[in-house]
Structure 1
């Protein structure tokens, strides 16, 4: 019977953590950020486990029919998992409405934790009763059962993240977990029998309960804080979280198994001392994590994942092994004190529930991860009964020294001669602004994701103006995502346009002030989640522009789903226009096809734009409009000329694919939906191990896309259409030339390399201004040292474009 009990515990653990991965993804759709979803689901899980163990466990232990309790709990988990498969979309919509478009942080987190707890409670409460019920049924030590349950959870995490969700989607993955729970209930009913209830002595002390509650709080606090720090070193994808969680659980399971086999671990004071020291060693691994990653230099997807797993082992292995052993030891201490196991488990998980809001939301931003983690180590020391032993003073002295002298656990890539302008730890991410030796400032989230730069203001401005110029008369515009704030700021300077910008991270809003230039009007900034805002706001907008979110990180893949695009369309005014910018340098062509196919589910007449002619950071845009995507030439405002958008060719010529060409490009690609988050699981592959250069992807995409300029114009204009077609051909030639040209600081060398080809590009399309500008600059550079060559170049330019004759 014992092997069967272990098998059932493993299967139940598989299902439980499979649910957690699925529900975290689904909560991320509501809360807007994976970190927020992780905290909310972790708190909901442990809160439910605690309530179930405390309210049901004692009744199970006293029952003459514990088999019914166990089978009933497994059946209830499966039943409620099935209910959530059907009800989660409705529940998510209700939570969105309850949070509202622009909730305060207190209300946002209150609803996140409260709604998560109530929604998952029937299942998580039943989960909390299964381990006490199995201990009652099998009459086995708790440690092997706990180890089996946790090892099953490890397999559940890895299988769900790496196989089930990518292959089946969220609902079908939850369905498999439901099947596991129902199978556990059925198999237990057929094969298990109840055992006599163990007789406990009188309740002699509450100390084991306080110890269990405190260690539950400290153990999950260490997990929450370490994951937060590692997100600044690892790639911060769905695979990152799964690997970190799997290693954490595996360490706990091995600790419980080791406790059952090695009597030397059965000492509470020794375990507490060792845990305090292991937390400090884990912090040392965190300080060295970036160096470890750089030393390994992974080159493939598998090697990159292995590197992240190695970092997780370095940080989590020893502390979690000791945590697993300590839980078993404290449970044994509680049993000797006359306290039933259900009460021990209940208070331990109650403490764990408090870790996410206390350490994740409150202490980490207030103190920083370093001091918050040192509080965890100090907490284990304070639980020791004797403070005068050498085993206490050594970790205490180390903790104090680290608090006073160690650098913060903040990873900031600082270039030579650079300086940090701003750094803020938030509840969901760390945001920094770094200036290099040349004065260029860059905004980073978690040190991995660049959200804007003072050197890209020209391109950022184009991303604001192109969508606005394609609308005939925009009055109200919404920007989803703020970044450095340059894009929304340029839009606010366009006469007659009222601009609002939505940004989830308050720290990004604060940092954007460092990038603001000029004295023009500023956009109205809203601290809110983009997905939630477009679903709950009541305003309608003439133009909505969505930032080029990195599709692999922080739940951003959810901003490229069919459901989100549909919600955006609902926020558009009649004839309103939506532009979704895409960072081609951060996604592969297969992911681009999926996003394009998903976009066309809502905007079947959508077209594609190119924001600029950058080869290293190419940014594409998908544009859709209610009533079709036909545009008309007109007089462009003075502001547009400052960003290279002075004429019809610069604006309408930015279109690289008409609707028919975009449909052909996306044909057969998998749709990215809330239930089948294909992008979130596909996009990380190129993040971990790029298989091509951005410039190569750009040219490959342009080779597949075509544009029939006549389909873009509201009224037939054959002459303009022909010139726009020539403009598109010239752009392709220009980019091909850029891909194969090696730059040189010597203008004479560059003239030899690119002069004749650029003149040929201009002959293809005299309207293609980007080819003329480099030639003008070369002529200026040669004017002093070789006036004859400069004059010859200008003469060649004049023959093609007389208006470009003067320097």
Structure 2
């Protein structure tokens, strides 16, 4: 390269690194933006990829047609970068205006789903197409301007620019997800990219005054001698190869991403790691060309061998993928469940993605520079750069469309990648055999073809992953495969995910990318699966709360059991179920006949669509909407738990409509749950919380006050039998699972200090994968439920179920178990018949000891034992039993006969008596009196915590919030609240609640 060019080379390459860096920030962030419009991350990624590549193809084509007439190509490049930057700064306000126009004006005017979808996809494409076209102009402008001053360094320039742009792109994808989104959200990220483009444009403009002024070393356009290989049709052949290899490369990318989702998890982080691995491969392929370009005498032959090796590397990637389940299983067993462990898991995930994707992507990165060199050296001139770039990009779009809509649903992931690999092998053979200039290269083809057949056979045999591994979710469980005791009767690679049905003894579970979504016991006479109470409660709670639920919508199909349960009542006239993945519905047919109404009832209407598109069609309004999407750590699903989406759903509810929302509390932490609760509470003034089991929370939200649940089934009906099987045999079974109203929600939000979850700050999608890896649990609600004092009854409107109302026995319900346990200890203490065996034998032991010690005088030596036993019995009864049921237990206790008990015993008994009566003034008085006499050396910590909280609840019950806080400040320092303290969180919750109530007055 001439010395006069070397001084500018590093700056031009650095500018192109920054340009690629900003370009992939756009692609990453646009996927999040358009996911809010299109309703599904996979569709948004596909559209962004298609428009991004299509726009770049058009931009490159424009330069190929017009750029040869432009004298100052680097100056044109600078102007393009500046315009891209300005568009980046304006993108967020434009998107907000577009969203408002769509929701307020366009959608209400459209009556058909096809019209809505056409508007969504067309308008979304227009949002990003202008910048994409401009981005497509950058490579041919930069390379053309560069080549004008050093045309003999074509390979070095093309490979160097391709490497620079790609390496910047790879880091841009990672920087967008791991730095910008958590730091400044989507608006800040896209503006940051715009600022980068502006800086690049300004610097490029300054450089252009030196570069564009340099005299060319040789004629630029059409004056390079045409070699004999440039026969008629040569250029068309090179362009066809560029198109087909672009298509195969993107079949690889989509196929690898879909496969690795089953190993690494379908998260935002894993997707960007895979994308970066692919782009890094492309980058280093370009670097290889740059470094060896002077020695490349026949770029066509090199391109042919690159194609052939790319196909072989793609075939080898399949056995590597099949073995990656074992690698991830080993990692999950090795790494600690900490932030550091998650960071190492993320790095290892990137390494696995590199191992699978990098080799083939490396050879893919060689092909475009080599094909462009072949065009230039055979007389295409600068126009050849844009043409190759444009046709390669159009091929990429073709690959995306074919992969998503044809190949993967028809052939599956493995065969789709295999077919694309064979296309590349054939392209390589054609280039070497018919278009390479040298005579020696074809002689090695027979050996290469034999090797290809061998690798193809190995790939077909060893590249097929075990279905038990595909359905196992190793990224969650750490097990590389499900056990041999289960079968996989259904496994299909759908358009958006891989769906499997796992079958055991009489039960079926349906999974998405290895994550279980629903499990059903097919034997109606056997115990239900753990998920069944959640799905049946989702389907029956709206029937229990809404007086006339005629029009109902269900977001998410799962097993179909929620829809089936809704249709057990004659009151719904129509149930619209919305599911994005057809394979999910197809797989759920294996749940028959347990879900027969979902398929056979004429009131059931299934829609394969995303929720936003479906609700946007026409003017749909519903009495009830049931939302049970996938887990919010799954990429794109978090947008269904934002304040904007809840407002959107609210607009599609009738004035007295009810929203029923499922959210898990396992594999989540309290701040993440709180931010989603805050989003719901911001849109709905009335919210009730129900605990289905220890892992599933169900929220009922409305803009009108919610009534107490009524039993929705006719007595002795088949529907009533279905409900009773999972523990819903009466209205009391609904009530016992109710934790409280939105005051609980507001207090949890205040304790964490988190804002409402927002579309443009996707903290759940970003942070929930870490919580899942760490096996975290949003346990605050469980701790409130297990608190043995009437906390929720005092502050959150919880209604205690009287003992004369029968509760249906069921496994898995924490609320039911606590209520039943309280009834058992009451019966044991008062001499009534015992309603079933104790779940906790230690509680029965505590009751016996309390009665034994209370039968006569309680000596000083028995004080500690009596207080410990009393606290354990109080913990099991004071919260779960109504005052009438506490008569004889704590109110005038029939088991207490001691005459000369220590003062501490008498004071504690008085405090429990006041609590049982719900006499708030007496609670405050007796709790404080007990605190005055309890000796920390004798009285267990739990007793002292009880007295402190009883006194505070007494003050709260009288409306004296300042007194409650003062009691904590006065006595709290003597009652430890951390470590083994059972009520440390409860005390903090009460402080937050008092603060909440005070600020709202």
Match of 2:265 in 1: 235
Match of 1:544 in 2: 625
- Secondary structure of 2:161's partner? helix
Cα 1:470–1:226 change in 2 (3 A) is same
Cα 1:495–1:472 change in 2 (3 A) is same
Match of 2:395 in 1: 351
Match of 1:295 in 2: 330
Equivalent of residue 566 in structure 1, options 647, 654, 675: 647
Structure 2 portions without partners, runs of 5+: 1-7, 151-156, 434-441, 473-481, 522-528, 823-835, 849-872, 884-1001
Shift of 1:592: 0.3
Match of 1:794 in 2: none
Contact 2:117/2:613 (8 A) holds in 1: no
Contact 2:668/2:768 (8 A) holds in 1: yes
Equivalent of residue 584 in structure 2, options 486, 508, 520: 508
Match of 1:218 in 2: 248
Match of 2:309 in 1: 274
Match of 2:708 in 1: 631
Contact 2:736/2:815 (8 A) holds in 1: no
- Secondary structure of 2:264's partner? coil
Contact 2:245/2:424 (8 A) holds in 1: yes
- Secondary structure of 2:379's partner? coil
Cα 1:59–1:758 change in 2 (3 A) is farther
Contact 1:425/1:431 (8 A) holds in 2: yes
Equivalent of residue 135 in structure 2, options 107, 127, 130: 127
Whole-Å separation in 1 of the counterparts to 2:275 and 2:779: 36
Shift of 1:393: 2.7
Equivalent of residue 490 in structure 2, options 399, 416, 422: 422
Cα 1:10–1:721 change in 2 (3 A) is farther
* TM-score, structure 2 normalization: 0.69
Deviates more, 1:148-157 or 1:491-500: 491-500
Contact 2:629/2:637 (8 A) holds in 1: no
Deviates more, 1:364-373 or 1:401-410: 401-410
Shift of 1:650: 2.3
Match of 1:788 in 2: none
Whole-Å separation in 2 of the counterparts to 1:457 and 1:148: 54
Is 1:17 paired with 2:24?
A: yes
Shift of 1:753: 4.7
Contact 1:22/1:170 (8 A) holds in 2: yes
Is 1:605 paired with 2:679?
A: no
Is 1:75 paired with 2:119?
A: no
- Secondary structure of 1:389's partner? helix
Question: Larger C-alpha radius of gyration, 1 or 2?
Answer: 2
Whole-Å separation in 1 of the counterparts to 2:113 and 2:562: 24
Cα 1:293–1:736 change in 2 (3 A) is farther
Shift of 1:113: 6.2
Match of 1:661 in 2: 744
Is 1:337 paired with 2:378?
A: yes
- Secondary structure of 1:136's partner? helix
Shift of 1:699: 2.7
Match of 1:480 in 2: 555
Match of 1:86 in 2: 93
- Secondary structure of 1:421's partner? strand
Deviations 1:478-499 (A, max 9, x none): 2111111111111110231232
Structure number with higher relative contact order (C-alpha < 8 Å, ≥ 6 residues apart): 1
Equivalent of residue 651 in structure 1, options 731, 734, 748: 734
- Secondary structure of 1:375's partner? helix
Shift of 1:541: 1.7
Match of 1:805 in 2: none
Cα 1:705–1:19 change in 2 (3 A) is farther
Cα 1:532–1:28 change in 2 (3 A) is same
Match of 1:534 in 2: 615
Whole-Å separation in 2 of the counterparts to 1:392 and 1:103: 50
Contact 2:113/2:614 (8 A) holds in 1: no
Deviates more, 1:312-321 or 1:473-482: 473-482
- Secondary structure of 2:263's partner? coil
Cα 1:403–1:647 change in 2 (3 A) is closer
Aligned residues: CA RMSD = 3.5
Deviations 1:82-104 (A, max 9, x none): 34322224445777867979847
Match of 1:802 in 2: none
Is 1:463 paired with 2:538?
A: yes
Cα 1:654–1:34 change in 2 (3 A) is same
Deviates more, 1:636-645 or 1:479-488: 636-645
Cα 1:94–1:321 change in 2 (3 A) is farther
Is 1:589 paired with 2:670?
A: yes
- Secondary structure of 1:233's partner? helix
Cα 1:485–1:635 change in 2 (3 A) is closer
Whole-Å separation in 2 of the counterparts to 1:557 and 1:341: 42
Contact 2:737/2:815 (8 A) holds in 1: no
Match of 1:684 in 2: 769
Contact 1:29/1:674 (8 A) holds in 2: yes
- Secondary structure of 2:80's partner? helix
Whole-Å separation in 2 of the counterparts to 1:544 and 1:42: 33
Deviates more, 1:664-673 or 1:368-377: 664-673
Contact 1:551/1:587 (8 A) holds in 2: no
Report how many residues are paired: 746
Shift of 1:623: 1.9
Whole-Å separation in 2 of the counterparts to 1:528 and 1:345: 35
Contact 2:116/2:613 (8 A) holds in 1: no
Cα 1:409–1:229 change in 2 (3 A) is farther
Shift of 1:69: 1.4
Is 1:172 paired with 2:188?
A: yes
* Within-5 A mapping of 1:517-528: 517=593, 522=601, 523-528=604-609
Equivalent of residue 162 in structure 1, options 178, 194, 207: 178
- Secondary structure of 1:592's partner? helix
Match of 1:320 in 2: 361
Cα 1:730–1:17 change in 2 (3 A) is closer
Contact 1:509/1:525 (8 A) holds in 2: no
Cα 1:102–1:236 change in 2 (3 A) is farther
Whole-Å separation in 1 of the counterparts to 2:658 and 2:291: 66
Match of 1:448 in 2: 515
Deviations 1:50-73 (A, max 9, x none): 111011234223311223311221
Equivalent of residue 409 in structure 2, options 348, 357, 365: 365
Whole-Å separation in 2 of the counterparts to 1:346 and 1:731: 62
Deviations 1:188-237 (A, max 9, x none): 11232315363443575222222211211111221111111111111110
Contact 2:803/2:881 (8 A) holds in 1: no
